[in-house]
Amino acid sequence: MLKDVAPRARQGGVRRARTLRRKMTLPEVLLWQRLRGGVHGCRFRRQHPSGPYVLDFYGVDARLAIEVDGAGHDTRRERDARRDAWFAEAGIRTVRIAAARVLADADGTAAAVLALATARLPLHHPAKPGGPPPRDELGEDR
């Protein structure tokens, strides 16, 4: 698992995230049922607190935030754009998915999310500081 680059939650963020986990919307529940458990090597967290925000789903290794947007987000486009830019500065890409899309095709939506997350995974995990040196072609230490 790579180092989590998401900014730490502000005070009260963890409590708010726990409350949101208990009150997930139907589209969020449907998507979570398909993303949970580390499918294809992509692990997601649900209602992940980060800075002043709580992400619907967050893939740590892929550095990918998934937001399921209902009808209420139509009036908050500027706020959502500021939020997405804030996460982009931290190296996290945000993908917004319409709740209606999840309700219409939860399996297809989850497959698209997993494909995007898999494409963003690093080819290999970096070695730990002070770890062993890389092996040469014959498997010998250099």
In CATH terms, 13-120 corresponds, of 3.20.20.70, 3.40.50.150, 3.40.960.10, 2.60.40.10, to: 3.40.960.10
Helices in the chain by DSSP H: which ranges? 13-22, 26-35, 77-89, 99-104, 106-120
Structure confidence by residue, pLDDT tens digits, 99-141:
999 999 999 999 999 999 988 877 665 566 777 666 666 655 5
Q: What is the pTM of this model?
A: 0.73
Structure confidence by residue, pLDDT tens digits, 11-27:
767 777 777 778 888 99
Sign of CA dihedral 35, 58, 92, 126: negative
Nearest partner of 13 among 46, 65, 67, 53, judged by Cα: 53
How many Cβ atoms from other residues are within 10 Å of residue 58's Cβ? 24
